Amino acid sequence: MMNQEKRAVDLVVISDVHLGTYGCRAKELLNYLKSIEPKTLILNGDIVDIWQFSKKYFPKSHMKIVRYILKLSNHGTDIYYITGNHDELLRKFADMNFGNIKLVNKVTMDVNGKKTLFFHGDVFDFSIQHAKWLAKLGGKCYDLLILLNTFVNFCSEKMGGKRLSLSKQIKNSVKSAISFINNFETASVNYGISQKCETVVCGHIHQPSIKDVEIDGKTIQYLNSGDWVENLTSLEFHNNNWTLYQHPELQKFETSEEEEEVGIHNILKEFNIGFPH
């Protein structure tokens, strides 16, 4: 056992960490991982953001996540790395095992007597399947929005205001975004039914959820692990029950040494934004 003070969990699902991007909340994720002792850890896609990977930005806090996951595997945690769209380059290596780490495109297992299907979910995203360039552009814009959001929250807190999420505001107010989420959930559930599963567990859309969905008289449990960019959520299964974990929001911005070395000028340069001379 790694640490008796850690909280025992049978199964943990994490997705959409996006290591290697400015929006990734690696320090909060590491804090969470160090607080639990999972028997099984499912990394449900988009853990490393290969789409936007840059040699200029992969701070030590992000590398610590990789190292800690390897540490968990060495201490007996069974780990499944399910490929997503941002780490799709790994799909050519699916079904390979690296010790206790299994690289797969999807996985089905029995969870509390229910056939449960785990997959990232990008297969149901039209932009991913038919206009990948648009999806990659959207990813870049999303990263820029997160960077802008960080600056807005910094100013807001300096003036005594509250933190807010621009991307969540957009998702919750734009009808097309709401429609996309509903269509994604319906498609995921239908796929689970076609696979004769009672539970489906996804990621991809950064919308944490646990709910029962009924389609054509059939009820199936739909779960989404959310993300570690804006929601800071994971799914936990323990004592025969699924729960949604959410990391408490930090009240103050903290800058570590490894992030100080990046600098705002380097960040702006990455997005081809310069200051006038």
Instruction: Answer yes or no: is 237 within a domain.
Output: yes
- Residue 2 maps to a domain: no
Q: Return the minimum-mean-pLDDT range out of 59-68, 176-185, 198-207.
A: 176-185
Higher-confidence residue of 276 and 4: namely 4
Q: What is the pLDDT of residues 209-241, one digit of tens each?
A: 999 999 888 899 999 999 999 899 999 999 999
Task: Assess if residue 260 is contained within a domain.
Answer: yes
Which pLDDT band holds residue 260 (cuts at 50, 70, 90)?
A: very low
As a whole number, mean pLDDT of residues 43-62 equals: 86
Number of domains the chain contains:
1
The boundaries of the domain holding residue 122 are 7-270
3-state secondary structure the chain: CCCCCCEEEEEEEECCCCECCCCCCHHHHHHHHCCEEEEEEEEECCCECCCCCECCECCHHHHHHHHHHHHHHHCCCEEEEECCCCCHHHHHHCCEEECCEEEECEEEEEECCEEEEEECCHHHCHHHHHCHHHHHHHHHHHHHHHHHHHHHHHHHHHCCCCCCCHHHHHHHHCHHHHHHHHHHHHHHHHHHHHCCCCEEEECCCCCCEEEEEEECCEEEEEEECCCCCCCCEEEEEECCEEEEEECCCCCCCCCCHHHHCCHHHHHHHHCCCCCCC
d(CA 122, CA 41): 20
- Residue carrying structure tokens 């950064």: 206
CATH number of the structural domain spanning residue 179: 3.60.21.10
Task: Provide the pLDDT for residue 23.
Answer: 84
Most confident of 81-85, 88-92, 151-155: 81-85
Residue 248 has pLDDT above 90, yes or no: no
Question: Is the confidence at residue 198, as pLDDT, over 80?
Answer: yes
What does pLDDT average to over the chain? 79
- In this predicted structure, the answer to whether residue 43 has a pLDDT above a threshold of 90 is yes
Residue 276 located in a structural domain: no
pLDDT tens, 142-188? 556 555 666 555 565 567 666 656 556 555 554 455 576 788 899 99
Question: Averaging pLDDT over each range in 81-95, 146-160, 184-198, 263-277, which range is the top one?
Answer: 184-198
Residue 42 falls inside a structural domain? yes
Find the mean pLDDT for residues 119-141.
58
Does residue 1 sit within a domain?
no
Kindly state whether residue 31 falls inside one of the protein's structural domains.
Answer: yes
